[in-house]
Amino acid sequence: MHIFLHTLSNGIRLAHHRTNGMVAHCGLIIKTGSRNETAAEHGMAHFIEHMLFKGTKKHKAYYILTRLDEVGGELNAYTSKEETAIHASVLKEDFEKAVDMISDIAFNSVFPANEIEKEKDVIIEEINSFLDNPAEIIFEDFEELAFPGQPLGRNILGTRETVKSFTHDDLEKFVARNYNTRQMVFCSVGNIPDEDVLKLFNKYFGSFSPKTKKNGIDKISRYTPSSLTKHKKTYQNHCIIGNIAYPIRDKRRLGMSLLNNLIGGQGMNSRLNLALRENRGLAYNVESSYNAYHDTGIFLVYFGTDSQNLEKSIAITYTELNKLRTSKLGSIQLSKAKNQVKGYLARGFEHHESLMLSMGKSLLVTSKIDTLEEICNKIDNITASQLLEISNEVFEPSKLSMLIYK
């Protein structure tokens, strides 16, 4: 897979992969997220993501909201704990419009006061919607349990109180402190020659002055396993069991990802889906996840079940985790687990929007982009002994935390 790379004098990097097809995807990924917030700024990164669409020095909000939609394209954005991304999908002949729009809202947004007040109400409704969904809240509450009193443990949306307090100056100060041009990557995938993408990249991103302030993040405090039960008015009991895991640059990350997929990944054949849902009918939603951050990670198992089945479901979950601590995967089991993950990866590479975002984040965080072949080779080199070692570290019962909604 050929990837064209370039770095501007202001530090913004480019990664482009030429493909066939009528649709092109592009985005700007910025290494700033909710983890960069102070306590008083809780929800600020996400609020700014919304406000990027509300007007620039050149264009009103209506123009931004309709410019790409009118040609059948899409302009969107997201905020995570450690990144903010602005991205677009358009027909390839409209690619320049998308590049222009992303550049404009990333660097020229003016955060109109009247739009700030309106957007506060919108985000408070988003918070209300989130609070109505215990199957979503519990994931954020578990990270707060794992990282208490730390920005990494706070939810991305903020609270009603912090959101209401934001001012125009607050937004400007956050951007000035945290948006670093050397921590930005523009990524694209589409049937556009490298030289054409480079020309547009220079045109729309080359004129901005370098901003090199270091947007520091908090150091993670020592993890202490804990258990907590919250009483909520829900039809089901919801449960998460988990532990901290490996950061994004750790060589064990890929092995951890393979184990996560084996335990509760998207496949119907995951161990917990078979054990809890298919074989016993104890749960409808069963999943595990592994999120790798800059300097730590988190692994968790989630399921929802009837109150009378809660203790049984917890015991089965511990049993399945313990199996991976006490028994090496056989050669056939290991081969099947690797092939499943490689299949998912190949499908992801064929989904060009996901590929574009993955390329950008990889370059931003690790300063390189592995090809599918390189990743598959790394997966093939994972041994059963390595997975056993990871399992004994992450799934050790004394290290696991648990959060229950009753």
Residue-wise pLDDT tens digits, 261-279: 999 999 999 999 999 999 9
Q: State the Cα–Cα distance between residues 149 and 337, nearest whole angstrom.
A: 37
Mean pLDDT for the stretch of residues 54-64: 95
Residue 49 appears among annotated catalytic residues: yes
Report the percentage of the chain scoring pLDDT > 70.
99
pLDDT level of residue 1 (50, 70, 90 thresholds): confident
Provide the angle, in degrees to the nearest 10, between the axes of the packed helices 95-107 and 194-205. 30
Q: Identify the structural domains of the chain with CATH numbers, from first to last.
A: 4-205 (3.30.830.10), 227-405 (3.30.830.10)
Q: State the Cα–Cα distance between residues 269 and 264, nearest whole angstrom.
A: 9
Mean pLDDT for the chain?
96
Q: Which helix (H) or strand (E) holds 138?
A: helix 134-146
Q: Would you list the DSSP string of 166-221?
A: --HHHHHHHHHHH--GGGEEEEEEES--HHHHHHHHHHHHTTSPP-------PPPP
Mean pLDDT for the stretch of residues 294-301: 96
Residue-wise pLDDT tens digits, 169-203: 999 999 999 999 999 999 999 999 999 999 999 99
pLDDT at 215 over 80: no
**Which tokens in the block code for residue 116?**
């700030």
pLDDT at 213 over 80: no
Residue 402 bridge partners (DSSP) = 227, 241
The pTM score is 0.94
Q: Give the count of alpha carbons within 13 A of 44, CB side only.
A: 25
Catalytic residue among 37, 49, 119, 353: 49
Q: Give the count of alpha carbons within 13 A of 30, CB side only.
A: 32
The 3-state DSSP composition of the chain as helix, strand, coil percent (nearest 5) reads: 50, 20, 30
